[in-house]
Amino acid sequence: MNYQISPSLMCLDMMKVPEQLSFLDEKADMFHVDIMDGHYVKNIALSVDFVRQIKPYTTIPIDIHLMVAEPMDFIDNLIEAGADSISVHAEVISSYAFRLINHVRNSGKKVGIVLNPATPIEVLNNYAHLVDKVTVMTVDPGYAGQPFIPEMVEKIKKLKQFREEGNYQFLIEVDGSCNKNTYNLLLNAGAEVLIMGSSGLLKKDIPLSDTWQIMQNDIVQSLSA
């Protein structure tokens, strides 16, 4: 079974960013960068400047997850900073979804849509053919380390069916509680990109080389169970 790993850079040890970034750049498929504005979610995370600073030291795609109230305010600066793909929440773009999606696409970047746990798949109906990735949140957005919402397994299955019936091309990504307790459920439901944070990979008390190997072993074992 094919899958991609996208480490959440918000969960890096900020005292070891250069060495952890270098290690992950050789192992992962893309980098996941959370940007929060303190309005859409009550938290502040990474920034456009962070993307600009790490870009020269990365060879894999930088994938932005915008948890902000006004994503259009960030798009052009992120493109200039070096973002390779930008994902936005469906809940905040209803009045300008096509303008935003087409602007990102016309800039030569990939675009994704993020669905909160309570957001139905049907919001994708009119623009699913235009997006490169759909992210299913398996926790409420805004904070790392939250408990997994089990109802999202069925949602991932429905999203995969939705893609097949519409002959869409987007990847199915999962954000939240990707770890040894959920790998089997998520991958067998149809997940193709796993965002790896504090529960599955980035643990401050264990060397990253060790947690990477543990993660890979856990995934292999879960798929053979």
Domain at 68, CATH number:
3.20.20.70
pLDDT digits (tens, 9 = 90+) for 185-216: 999 999 999 999 998 999 888 999 999 999 99
pLDDT confidence tier of residue 38, bands split at 50, 70 and 90: confident
Structure tokens at 62: 């930088």
76 catalytic residue (yes or no): no
Given strand 193-196, what is the order of strands in its sheet?
Answer: 4-7, 193-196, 171-175, 133-137, 110-115, 85-89, 62-67, 31-36
Query: pTM of the entire structure?
Result: 0.95
Backbone torsions φ then ψ of 209, nearest 5 degrees: -60, -35
Identify which of 110, 109, 141, 113 has the alpha carbon closest to the alpha carbon of residue 126: 113
- CA pair distance 52, 67, nearest whole angstrom: 18
From 34, 37, 84, 132, the catalytic residue:
34
Q: Is the pLDDT confidence value at 81 over 90?
A: yes
pLDDT digits (tens, 9 = 90+) for 8-31: 999 999 899 999 999 999 999 999
CA 219 to chain centre: 18
| Residue-wise pLDDT tens digits, 53-72 | 999 999 999 999 999 999 99
Tell me how many domains the chain contains. 1
**Residue-level pLDDT at 54:** 96
132 is catalytic: no
Active-site position among 84, 175, 205, 218? 175
Q: What is the pLDDT of residue 144?
A: 66
> What does the pLDDT read at residue 224?
87
Residue 149: give the domain boundaries. 4-224
Share of the chain above pLDDT 90, in %: 87
- Which among 93, 158, 181, 156 is positioned nearest to 130, based on CA atoms? 93
pLDDT tens by residue, 105-149? 999 999 999 999 999 999 999 999 999 999 999 999 876 667 899
